[in-house]
Structure 1
Amino acid sequence: MLAEELENQDHYEIVDGSRVEMPPMSAEAQFVASRLAYHLSRFGIESNLGEACVEVMIELSLPAERNRRPDVIFIPYSRWKKNSPVPATNAWDVLPDLCVEVVSPHDLCDDLMDKIGEYFRAGVRLVWVVYPRHQLFYVYESPTKVYGLTRTDILDGGAALPGFKLPLADFFPEGTGNSTQS
């Protein structure tokens, strides 16, 4: 099997009941997603709120069948009991409080906006979109209430993750990415 075939194997989402192959995350996006999941899980476990996962397909309760694979999710213990086994299915039937999309060079804006809308229609409370190359976080509190953060800001978990704070200067080390700051 070619390396390219291996990279694309089993990386898909379900949209309108059909399997849609997805390109793999870039190495940069994987690193950012893993790092963010670490911070979220550490906070969630210490505060007994929940845990984060990377690249887990979730079932979205929408009229048309949707199984999406956010780059990071935060599952509160109120929706999945602490230390409960994760099902051995392709998609997890649990609604996260937070979905994170880490933008890779191949991602399309229309697809990203579709996902954001779907997450909120399914009941997700908060969506973060991360642009690693530009060291930007966009925080969506709803599909229309959004604000941007740069590496000089502190990411706040809001009502979905009360008490979570992450200085983005620590998250995006100086000299990385193509920062839009002057």
Structure 2
Amino acid sequence: MVNTVQLNLNVFELTDEKFYQICQDNRDLRFEKNAQGYLIIMSPTGDETSYRNGRLTQQLFNWSDQDQRGIPFDSSAGFILPNGATRSPDAAWIPLEKWNKIDRHKREKFSPICPDFVIELRSPSDNLKPLQEKMKEYIENGTRLGWLINRQDRQVEIYRQEKEVEILDNPNSLSGADILNGFVLDLELIW
């Protein structure tokens, strides 16, 4: 099962504004735009993945409510990365001081910022390789910590700035370490 389709729309320039309007006009679909300007159409996740992603973001939001040093996001947020791609991680977090530097009007659409922390949760229909490439793209654009949660293999790939990818087999939890001090994701709710 293929869950994404890439369209080369080079017959016209897919500006950030046009991309935002496509997303608004087609709210039942999920879109991303890669750095080459291709429109990526993603199918909705299944109910099981949606539930588990909700549990994941719930934990991040609960921690962030207590911590109050940043802003958490769910999978409906879009971020314009420095390379020009617009990506929507399954969960993300941005430090408050970085978030406050963004013009309020830009926040109403897709903010020109790369989150410091991202999570991608692999759906049963997702191919692993494109998700790994997406994680590398986040890191190359400024993400400091990223977790790729692969439920099918019960593995987590941890991405960090200037470090090799770390792979954990069947962990019970993940620590946000020095990026999200005090955040621990309970994976029993995700597996």
What is the TM-score with the length of structure 1 in the denominator? 0.76
In structure 2, the partner of 1:60 is 81
Q: Distance in 2 between matches of 1:155 and 1:132?
A: 14
> Are the aligned partners of 1:13 and 1:69 in contact in 2 as well (CA < 8 Å)?
yes
Partner of 2:43: 23
- Aligned Cα root-mean-square deviation (Å): 2.5
> Which residues of 2 match residues 122-161 of structure 1 at below 5 A?
122-142=141-161, 144-151=164-171, 153-161=172-180
- Tell me how far apart the structure 2 counterparts of residues 103 and 68 of structure 1 sit (CA, whole Å): 15
Give, in whole Å, the separation in 1 of the partners of 2:186 and 2:111: 31
Q: For 1:9-48, what aligned pairs fall within 5 Å after superposition?
A: 9-15=28-34, 16-48=36-68
User: 2:155–2:167: 8 Å Cα contact kept in structure 1?
Assistant: no
CA distance in 1, matches of 2:82, 2:150: 27
Say if 2:84 is the partner of 1:93.
Answer: no
Is the 8 Å Cα contact of residues 136 and 159 (structure 2) preserved in structure 1? no
- Matched with 1:103 is 122
How far apart, in 1, do the equivalents of 2:154 and 2:96 lie?
30
Identity %: 24
Structure 1: runs of 5 or more not aligned: 1-6, 178-182
Give the counterpart letter for 1:58 in structure 2: F
